[in-house]
């Protein structure tokens, strides 16, 4: 590999150099590499497409294990088995091309198939948990290479019990799709169902307008996607915020047990952090298309991204008393 630095391995394009980098081209090689590093007590970081990672600058005392096993196969007419290192959007494109529905709303999400269960990726009202049946894991605690059910991962909003724990490595995933001409109801089209290929194009178009499809030439996409999860707060707190801001329609959605989910992007803007914040000269800025994405304008370092994240968190806390939690995984910061 010519440049194993995290600046070249992640979509934020920041971060220092790992002690070593191992490219794993098969599921077995991936499991064996992790097993060996664990036996030797060498700290490691599993890296797929690097699109949900913020890694510290400088020389890092960890090895990067690169998930590069690729391939999509059919288990039966409706079930896909996908190697963890396969680019996720290729999986969606292939399913759509073959008239298999269920993941079209997840078009354009960067990164690897193996990372999709890690934070239960989702977009436009759809989540990988809707179609994920089982996952082949290398269990780092027991050393077992085993298929486990999707239910055993505790999948929830941008969460699974794999995220932040590093307890296991996803080697392959299995998806149950549907033979159909029409998409699932698409939230951004008011619940309408449209032909699969049209659904994919529509989602990609909407995502592009927000800088949510990777494009080397567009600094608004040098990001980790949405940087904060949408906060869940008691209804009374949501009422207070709505009254304080005094706008007619604050986005708020029932989240059970007297709780409501608010829009992090909306709160960030109302807390005085508009698009492009903090301004032209800053190396790290909010995207000019979407307040929820923190972006590298070309010369940012990991520390700049982390500083901006903390500044946004502080302003939202001061304005509304709400704590924003980062969605990407932070390493060494």
Ligand X SMILES: Cc1cc2nc3c(=O)[nH]c(=O)nc-3n(C[C@H](O)[C@H](O)[C@H](O)COP(=O)(O)OP(=O)(O)OC[C@H]3O[C@@H](n4cnc5c(N)ncnc54)[C@H](O)[C@@H]3O)c2cc1C
How many Å apart are CA 260 and CA 281, to the nearest integer? 37
Nearer to ligand X, 102 or 110 (CB): 110
**CB 319 → ligand X: shortest distance, Å?**
26
Does 114 sit near ligand X (CB under 6 A)? yes
- Give the x-and-dash track for 310-329 against ligand X (CB under 6 A): -------------------x
**CB 117 → ligand X: shortest distance, Å?**
8
Pick from 119, 183, 206, 295: which binds ligand X (CB under 6 A)? Answer: 119
Q: Which stretch binds ligand X (CB under 6 A): 119-127, 189-197, 231-239, 250-258?
A: 119-127
Would you call 183 a catalytic residue per the annotation? no
Distances from the Cα of 92 to the Cα of 49, 128, 193, angstroms: 16, 11, 17
Does 46 sit near ligand X (CB under 6 A)? yes
SS3 annotation, the chain: CCCCCHHHHCCCCCCCECCEEEEECCHHHHHHHHHHHHHCCCCEEEECCCCCEEECCCECCCEEEEECCCCEEEEECCEEEEECCCEHHHHHHHHHHCCEECCHHHCCCCCEHHHCCCCCCEECCEEHHHCEEEEEEEECCCCCEEEEEHHHHCCECCECCCCCCCCEEEEEEEEECEECCECCCEHHHCCECCEHHHHHHHHHHHHHHCCCCCCCCCHHHCCCCCCECCCEEEHHHHHHHHHHHCCCCCCEEECCCCEEEECHHHHHHHCCCCCCCCCCCCCEEECCCCCCCEEECCCCCHHHHHHHHHHHHHHHHHHHCCCCCECCEEECC
Of 104, 172, 260, 327, which one is the catalytic site residue?
327
- Give the x-and-dash track for 219-248 against ligand X (CB under 6 A): --x-xxx-----------------------
Does 18 sit near ligand X (CB under 6 A)? no
- Give the x-and-dash track for 70-99 against ligand X (CB under 6 A): --------------x---------------
Does 45 sit near ligand X (CB under 6 A)? yes
Does 15 sit near ligand X (CB under 6 A)? no
Does 4 sit near ligand X (CB under 6 A)? no
Pick from 17, 107, 116, 296: which binds ligand X (CB under 6 A)? Answer: 116
Per the listing, tokens 């946004």 go with 312
Pick from 33, 51, 202, 296: which binds ligand X (CB under 6 A)? Answer: 51
Please give the residues from 145 up to 164 whose contact with ligand X meets the rule CB under 6 A.
Answer: 162
Does 5 sit near ligand X (CB under 6 A)? no
Would you call 158 a catalytic residue per the annotation? yes
- Let me know if 257 is exposed, middle or buried by CB neighbors in 10 A (0-12, 13-18, 19+): exposed
**CB 221 → ligand X: shortest distance, Å?**
5
Instruction: Provide the sign of the torsion angle of the four alpha carbons 126, 132, 136, 138, taken in this order.
Output: positive
Binding residue count for ligand X, defined by CB under 6 A: 34
Pick from 91, 103, 150, 169: which binds ligand X (CB under 6 A)? Answer: 169
Does 271 sit near ligand X (CB under 6 A)? no
Would you call 327 a catalytic residue per the annotation? yes
Does 135 sit near ligand X (CB under 6 A)? no
Which residues are at the interface with ligand X (CB under 6 A)?
11, 45-53, 67, 84, 109-112, 114-116, 118-119, 121-123, 162, 169-170, 212, 214, 221, 223-225, 329
Q: Mind telling me the catalytic residues?
A: 158, 226, 327
């Amino acid at each position: 590999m010519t440049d194993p630095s995290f600046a070249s391995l992640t979509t934020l394009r920041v971060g220092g150099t790992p002690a070593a980098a191992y490219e794993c081209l098969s599921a077995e090689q991936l499991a064996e590499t992790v097993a060996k590093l664990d036996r030797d007590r060498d700290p490691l970081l599993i890296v797929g497409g690097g699109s949900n990672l913020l890694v510290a600058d400088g020389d890092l005392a960890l090895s990067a294990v690169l998930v590069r096993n690729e391939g999509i196969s059919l288990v039966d007419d409706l079930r896909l088995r996908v190697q963890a290192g396969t680019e996720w959007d290729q999986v969606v494109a292939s399913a759509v091309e073959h008239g298999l529905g269920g993941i079209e709303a997840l078009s354009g999400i960067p990164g690897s198939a193996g990372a999709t269960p890690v934070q239960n990726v989702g977009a436009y009202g759809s989540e990988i948990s809707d179609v994920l049946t089982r996952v082949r894991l290398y269990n780092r605690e027991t050393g077992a290479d085993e298929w486990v059910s999707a239910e055993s991962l505790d999948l929830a909003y941008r969460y699974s019990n794999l995220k932040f724990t590093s307890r296991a490595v996803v080697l392959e995933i299995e998806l149950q799709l549907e033979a159909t001409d029409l998409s699932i109801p698409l939230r951004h089209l008011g619940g309408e169902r449209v032909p699969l290929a049209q659904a994919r194009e529509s989602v990609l178009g909407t995502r592009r307008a927000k800088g949510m499809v990777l494009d080397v030439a567009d600094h608004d996409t040098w990001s980790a996607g949405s940087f904060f999860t949408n906060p869940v707060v008691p209804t009374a707190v949501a009422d207070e915020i709505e009254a304080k801001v005094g706008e007619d329609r604050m986005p708020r959605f029932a989240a059970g047990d007297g709780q409501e989910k608010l829009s992090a992007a909306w709160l960030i803007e109302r807390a005085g952090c508009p698009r492009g914040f903090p301004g032209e000269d800053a190396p790290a800025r909010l995207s000019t298309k979407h307040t929820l994405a923190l972006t590298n304008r070309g010369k940012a370092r990991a520390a700049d991204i982390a500083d901006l994240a903390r500044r946004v968190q502080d302003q939202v806390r001061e304005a509304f008393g709400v704590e924003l939690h980062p969605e990407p995984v932070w390493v060494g910061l």
